[in-house]
Amino acid sequence: MARRPIRPIRPIRLRGLRVDYPRRGRSNWRRWVPSWRQVLSGILLGFGALAGLFAVVYASVDIPDENDEARRQGTVYYWADGSQMVSVGAVNRQNVTLAGIPDSVEHAVIAAENETFYSDSGVSAKGIARAAVSMVKGGETQGGSTITQQYVKNTYLSQEQSATRKFKEFFISLKLSNKQSKEEILQGYLNTSWFGRGAYGIQAAAYAYYGIPAKDLDPSQAALLASLLKGAEQYDPAGGKGNHERAVDRWEWVLDRQVEIGTMTKAERAAYQKFPEPRPTAKPTSLGGQTGYLVDIANKYIKRRSGLTDKDLARGGYRVHTTFVKAKVQQLERAVRGVRKRDLDPKKRPEDRYVEVGAASVRPDDGAVVAVYGGADAITHFANNADTAGVPVGSAFKPFVLAAALQHGDGITLDSGYDSGGRLIKDGPYAAHPAPSGAGPGQAMVTAPTPLRDALIKSSNATFTLLGKDIGLKKVKELAVSAGLHKESLARLDKSFPLGTSTPSAVRMADAYTAFSNDGMRADPYSVTKVIRDGEVVEGFGKPEPRRVMDASVANDVNNTLGLVAWTRLGRDGKFAAFAKSRAADDLSAGATGEDDRMKSAWFIGHSKGLTTAVTMFRSKPGTPQLLGMQGVGGPDSERGNVFPLRIWSAYATRT
């Protein structure tokens, strides 16, 4: 078969325009290497196409209407029965003109956020590139926005992190830079930015942090407020762990940065060496009494379950349905106030000063937080005593040690115990107990052991120290964590660990005790059943699933013993001995600290009428990091204050 001749490759033609490619007059591979003219033409053609596309997109994207912040709704919280508890989150912002803002504020913000603000085109090419790389990698679309871009996001767009929003932000920022002056953009940015503490805009922020109008801010205060623009949740000095250190570092950086870019002299910088501590966080008056504590617990749960931030919640528009029962919250508060009024007299006894109470009531069936007492008033006492770790739990921790022993100790029962020689006798006090090996004639008779059941009732420190050692402190810790106590609240594993050196919150202690009254099952405590915004249900608020913590037989053994503890404690206090005979005591069980405890706190955790409630009392003086002693609180017969959590609990339980 004859081979067909190879046809020569013809040069490319574009509508009559002859392109010399492959190149004539060149041989071999040189034919395929474009000339510098061709390369330059290609580049110019590409730029022309991009410019044309850019012009088309630029013309098609309009600056939308400003968001109507005045119509933004507050966030409404509802009681468990669906009735409204409180509405919070109205816009906290008072617009001010740039003329009414000190130059130091302007300089600090520009140094912190966008030093080229007055010379750039309103967008950051580097920021867009970083966002594109992050988007390709599957990360968040963020990074490097100019002040103009941030203003556009605050004023014209949603807060979502998406490629579409970033695309719109870019072109709107370009258009806005051509339409508005830099002064107008900066003024708008300072009036719309989030500074934390519910404050939108520099004027509200100045009041929230320093109690003064923005016009009175000094350069040091301005640097701190500018630092907050990076993220108030991380840089508010009064915020979470590490916030103060981060705030100081950022404040110093903002001041130093102003020197670097020439808006502050070294001499001026040298005048600001002391960190400008802001005022304590204040609650809105609508969040007074227990309401602020309830909202605090609900918000913590929302952020943990959904990923929403304080800034998101402050933006408003949410409908939050909680597990809190109004009547029980009110009754718990009345019980605390009644006992304080009757039994404590700060004017008469110095020991009765600085006394704090925290309490929480949890439903064992599903872990719902039904009621809390966080302190006297959420406005004047912001720390939530019901949900704060830091108060040693003392002997109220011993039931977890007993449960670990019954669960993991081979052959250990409630009748097991330690003899006077420190030996664990598993078969109880009624069996024959030979003398220890090598004992002399006088040691032939060894005292019969006290059963673990009685040791818990009597709160025997010696028995539980030995039991923790024999079972293994790690197993005790694992069971406590499984029951719901946070690892961070548990003390180090030494010989005092079984005696309650750990510091869980009242909410967590109440929830952990539900495992004893619920056949060894427990669910994580929850306070929110549903969150709705713009008619859409926010995901992440399904009811927690109960999990097994211990065998049902172990839970029942511990719970029955706690029933004896409750009867013993209630019968000892003449004021409430009658409660032990009331119908409310049918399913009664309790754990508590004892008068032999040397912890600086008193606890009572009781179960009755289908609710488990933890009450703690301690003394905390503002400005003093360590708790004060409980000895003498309420007079000499208070058992180191241990009678008062019991009285609060019984006053509450008999009326709920």
Other CB atoms within 10 Å distance of the CB of residue 10: 7
Q: How far is CA 503 from CA 250, 316, 410, 593, 631, in A?
A: 32, 34, 29, 13, 19
Question: Can you give 253-316 as a three-state secondary structure string?
Answer: HHHHHHHHHCCCCHHHHHCCCCCCCCCCCCCCHHHCCCHHHHHHHHHHHHHHHHCCCHHHHHHC
β-sheet bridge partners, residue 53: none
Q: What is the pLDDT of residue 183?
A: 93
Distance CA 627, CA 273 (A): 32
Are residues 420 and 446 in contact, defined by beta-carbon separation less than 8 angstroms? yes
Share of the chain above pLDDT 90, in %: 52
Cα–Cα–Cα angle for 276, 280, 282, nearest 5°? 135
Angle (deg, nearest 10), helices 219-228 and 103-113: 40
Q: Which residues contact 238 (CB under 8 A, 6 or more apart)?
A: 244, 278, 280, 281
Closest CA to 150 of 99, 200, 106, 185: 185
pLDDT tens digits, 252-276: 999 999 999 999 999 999 999 999 9
Q: How far apart are CA 11 and CA 4, in angstroms?
A: 21
Extract the tokens encoding 544.
Answer: 């927690």
The amino acid at residue 460 is S
> Where are the extended beta strands (E) located within 30-149?
75-78, 84-88
Report pLDDT digits (tens) over 64-123.
545 554 345 578 899 999 998 988 866 666 788 899 899 999 999 999 999 988 888 777
User: DSSP code of 78?
Assistant: E
Rounded CA-CA distance 326/282 in Å is: 24
Closest by CA to 178, choosing from 119, 106, 122, 110, is: 122
Angstrom distances, CA of residue 393 to CA of 591, 604, 650: 10, 9, 19
Question: Under DSSP, is residue 518 helix (H, G, I), strand (E, B) or coil?
Answer: coil
436 - beta bridge partners? none
Residues of the chain with pLDDT under 50: 14, 53-54, 56-58, 60-61, 63, 65, 69-71, 135, 138-143, 159, 161-162, 432, 442-445, 583
Distance CA 11, CA 647 (A): 100
pTM of the shown model: 0.70
Q: What's the confidence (pLDDT) of residue 23?
A: 63
